[in-house]
Structure 1
Amino acid sequence: MLKGFKDFLLRGNVLDLAVAVVVGAAFTAIVTAFTENIVNPLVAALGGSEEMGFGFEIIAGNAETFVDIGAVITAAINFVIIAAVVYFILIVPYTHAKKRFTVEEQAALTDVELLTEIRDLLSESARRDPA
C-alpha cells in the first residue's frame, strides 16, 4: 500500500498539480486586487452613488438590504480575466505541443478489413511469384 502511494507521489503529476494550484492562487490574488482596486471604483462611478457603489437598497435607509450589482459585475470580470489567462497561457500551448509531439494512432482495423488486407497481399504475392 505504501509503495503505491510512493509511486503516486513520485509520478510527477502530483508535483505539477501542486505547482498549478499555487500559481493559480497567486494569480487569482493578483486579478482580485486588480478588480477590487481598479474595476470596482470604475463600476461604482457608473452607479452614481458615492457611498454604496453600483446597486440599490431594497429598504431605503437600511444598508443591510443593499443589492451590490457592482460586486457581481466585478466577480464576472474577475472570472473572465482568469479564464482567459488559463486558456491562453495553459490550454493553447498544451494543445499545440500535444499536436506537435504526439503521433496519431491509426484507427484499429476490424477483423473483416484485416482479413481483406491479408487476402490482397497474398494474392499480390502469388502474382509476383507464380511458383
Structure 2
Amino acid sequence: MRSVLNGFKEFVLRGNAIDLAVGVVVGAAFTTLVTSLVDNFLNPLIGAIFGQPDFSSVWQWEIRGAYEGIDGEMVEPSVIAFGAILTAVINLLIVAAALYFFVVLPINRLSNLRKSGEEPEPEAPAEDVLLLQEIRDLLAAQSGRSTPNSPPSGPQA
C-alpha cells in the first residue's frame, strides 16, 4: 500500500501532471474571461449594429408542424434552425478574434520585446546536451560500440 501511495505522490509531483492541472485551471479562467467579453461587450455591440445579438430565433425551416401525440399532449414542431447555426459560427469567430486580439497578440508583442534584448546563444553546448553525450558514451562503452567522440574499442586490424 505504501508503494502505491509513493507512486501516486511521485506522479502528482511530477512536472507534467502539475503543468496539465495548471493548464486546465488557466484554460477555465480564460473561458470565463472570453465568455464574459463576448456576452457583455461584443454581443451587445452586434445587437446595436444588426438589431439583435442572437439569430437563433430567425431563419428557421419548419419540417413538421406541432401535432397531438398518442397520449393527447402536443408535440413540438420539427425545425431546422439555420439562425442557431449562424449564431454558433459567429460566436466561434468572435471568441477566436477575442482570444487573438486580447491574449495572443499582446503575448506575442511582449515576447518580441523580450527577444529584442536577448543575448546571442552561447557557443558551448548546453549542460543537458553534455550530460546526454556522456550518457551516450557510457552506454556505447558498455555495449562495446564506438561513438563519434570516443576512440573505437576492441581489436583493430
Task: Please tell me the TM-score bracket, short chain as reference.
Answer: 0.5 to 0.7
**Aligned to 2:25, which of 8, 18, 30?**
18
Q: CA RMSD in A?
A: 3.6
Q: d(CA) in 2 for partners of 1:66 and 1:77?
A: 20
Q: Following TM superposition, by how much is the alpha carbon of 1:73 offset from its aligned partner in structure 2, in angstroms?
A: 1.1
TM-score by length of 2: 0.45
Q: What does residue range 1-131 of structure 1 map to in structure 2 within 5 Å?
A: 1=7, 2-3=9-10, 5-8=12-15, 14-15=21-22, 17-28=24-35, 31=38, 35=43, 38-40=52-54, 43=55, 53-59=58-64, 61-62=65-66, 63-102=76-115, 103=118, 105=121
Deviation at 1:18, TM superposition (A): 1.2
1:25 CA drift (Å): 3.3
Q: For the residues of structure 1 that align with 2:31 and 2:100, how far apart are their CA atoms?
A: 12
Structure 2 CA distance for aligned equivalents of residues 105 and 55 of structure 1: 60
Structure 1, unpaired ranges of 5+: 45-51, 107-131
Question: Percent sequence identity over matched residues?
Answer: 20
What is the number of equivalent residue pairs in this alignment? 96
Gapped regions of structure 2 (runs ≥ 5): 1-6, 67-75, 123-157
Structure number with higher helix proportion: 1
